[in-house]
């Protein structure tokens, strides 16, 4: 089965929705305009229920099939938030908000799920209930966690849940997926190194925090090279190095480090946290300085359930003619929180030969829309077949 004819008919409308969202990006939980548009459209489509304010600014719509005798309920999730990046695409629909843009395609995800919701409201060719989930704050805010904490899964009786992300480099309308661990756990850390500041001409009278912090940055790389099993995936990145003085002739009193740790198993995650703390404190102590570490467990590993992944791949094959095995991804994805509560699957849909996500030159490829919408709709009609 190729893409559904209805989505070819709706392609222009869905593209217009997507480009409007692109012009008005909203960051983290500040997705007020976006959530308002989503709720308005879901009501206009004829959703049986529309609830706002889930997970602070999330939106949930309920669509019941012609029959609900099966008693089954599945969830479909799209993210709504943008990134704090200044857009450089030069597109006619470029961001009108300085310093914010849809650099990850969440505008496309939202538009595609809206298109699928319209189709499902029109046809209702399924036996059961569909819950469409529009989530804020995927980009670091943990909006998925907040929606789960608000009791979304139990409140609407969601039994399994499916998500989708566009993927540059994969041909338009083609799909990739893998079972088990897929996207990495992404933890954050901050390290404050304190020594004794002084004049750059008298380093012997100081405890040079710049030297100490530099040694820490280098030593942290041994977590991957000498502590973790060589076949295990772990990435430790120091992404910010800030001294308490910007003068040429001052050895700073303090240095502040920030970074991320990315892992694909609970065991390696525990190991990385333990070793990072030990390395920072012991290296600082060896130089006569002090280091305090704040390690923040952020997004967990996103794990696709075996059964739901096989089903999602089968649907993708029906829509696109094939579904390839995806590579492991060391980026984070807070759909992981929903998959911790319910079995489900997360799939990648091709965005074509475009700039990478999180780039100021990126734009969602509107040619992806029919395939993405068709996959959503087929997930429902095949998982909840009409009687």
**221-227 mean pLDDT:** 97
pLDDT of 1 > 70? The answer is no
The CATH architecture of the domain made up of 185-299 is 2-Layer Sandwich (3.30)
Rounded CA gap, 218 and 145, in Å? 34
**21-26 mean pLDDT:** 98
Per-residue pLDDT tens digits for 130-185: 999 999 999 999 999 999 999 999 999 999 999 999 999 999 999 999 999 999 99
**% the chain with pLDDT above 90:** 99
What's the Cα-to-Cα distance from 292 to each of 181, 236, 251, 273, 295, rounded to whole Å? 32, 18, 19, 13, 10
Task: For 20, list phi and psi in degrees, rounded to 5.
Answer: -65, -45
Cβ-based neighbours of 117, under 8 Å, separated by 6 or more? 41, 42, 45, 47, 61, 63, 132
Per-residue pLDDT tens digits for 66-108: 999 999 999 999 999 999 999 999 999 999 999 999 999 999 9
Burial of 91-110, coded b for 16+ CB within 10 Å and e otherwise, reads eebebeeeebbbbbbbbbbb
Per-residue pLDDT tens digits for 37-67: 999 999 999 999 999 999 999 999 999 999 9
Rounded CA gap, 250 and 336, in Å? 45
Instruction: Give the pLDDT score at 3.
Output: 76
**Per CATH, is 5-181+302-383 categorized as 3.60.40.10?**
no
Query: What residues are designated binding site?
Result: 104, 106, 139, 165, 358
Query: What residues are designated binding site for Mn(2+)?
Result: 104, 106, 139, 165, 358
**Domain boundaries along the sequence of the chain:** 5-181+302-383, 185-299
**6-32 mean pLDDT:** 97
Q: How confident is the model at residue 36 (pLDDT cuts 50, 70, 90)?
A: very high
Q: Strand 73-79 and strand 129-135: pairing? A: parallel
Burial of 180-203, coded b for 16+ CB within 10 Å and e otherwise, reads ebbbbbbbbbebbbbbebbeeeee
CA nearest 384: which of 106, 59, 66?
Answer: 66
Rounded CA gap, 80 and 34, in Å? 7
Per-residue pLDDT tens digits for 281-310: 999 999 999 999 999 999 999 999 999 999
């Amino acid at each position: 089965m190729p893409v559904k004819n209805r989505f070819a008919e709706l392609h222009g409308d869905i593209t217009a929705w997507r480009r409007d969202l692109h012009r008005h990006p909203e960051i983290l939980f500040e997705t007020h305009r976006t959530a308002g548009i989503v709720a308005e459209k879901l009501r206009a489509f004829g959703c049986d229920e529309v609830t706002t304010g889930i997970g602070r600014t999330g939106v949930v719509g309920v669509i019941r099939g012609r029959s609900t005798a099966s008693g089954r309920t599945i969830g479909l999730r799209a993210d709504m938030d943008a990134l704090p990046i200044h857009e450089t695409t030069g597109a006619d629909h470029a961001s009108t908000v300085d310093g914010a843009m849809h650099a990850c395609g969440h505008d496309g995800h939202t538009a595609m799920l809206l298109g699928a919701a319209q189709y499902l409201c029109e046809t209702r060719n399924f036996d059961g209930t569909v819950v469409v989930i529009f989530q804020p704050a995927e980009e670091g805010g943990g909006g998925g966690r907040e929606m789960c904490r608000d009791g979304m899964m139990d409140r609407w009786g969601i039994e399994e849940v499916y998500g989708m992300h566009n993927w540059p480099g994969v041909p338009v309308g083609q799909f990739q997926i893998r079972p088990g661990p897929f996207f990495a756990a992404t933890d954050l850390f901050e390290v404050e190194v304190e020594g004794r500041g002084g004049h750059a001409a008298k380093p012997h009278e100081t405890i040079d925090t710049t030297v100490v912090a530099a040694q820490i940055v280098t030593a942290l790389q041994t977590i991957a090279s000498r502590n973790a099993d060589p076949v295990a995936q772990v990435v430790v990145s120091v992404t910010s190095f800030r001294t308490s003085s910007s003068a040429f002739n001052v050895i700073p009193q303090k240095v502040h480090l920030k970074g991320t740790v990315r892992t694909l198993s609970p065991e390696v995650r525990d190991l990385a946290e333990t070793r990072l703390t030990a390395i920072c404190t012991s290296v600082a102590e060896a130089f006569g300085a002090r280091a305090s570490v704040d390690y923040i467990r952020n997004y967990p590993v996103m794990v696709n359930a075996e059964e739901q992944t096989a089903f999602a791949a089968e649907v993708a094959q029906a829509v696109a003619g094939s579904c390839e095995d995806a590579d492991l991804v060391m980026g984070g994805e807070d759909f992981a929180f929903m998959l911790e509560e319910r079995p489900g699957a997360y799939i990648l849909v091709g965005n074509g030969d475009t700039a990478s996500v999180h780039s100021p030159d990126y734009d969602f490829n509107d040619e992806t829309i029919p395939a993405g919408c068709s996959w959503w709709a087929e997930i429902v009609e095949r998982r909840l077949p009409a009687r």
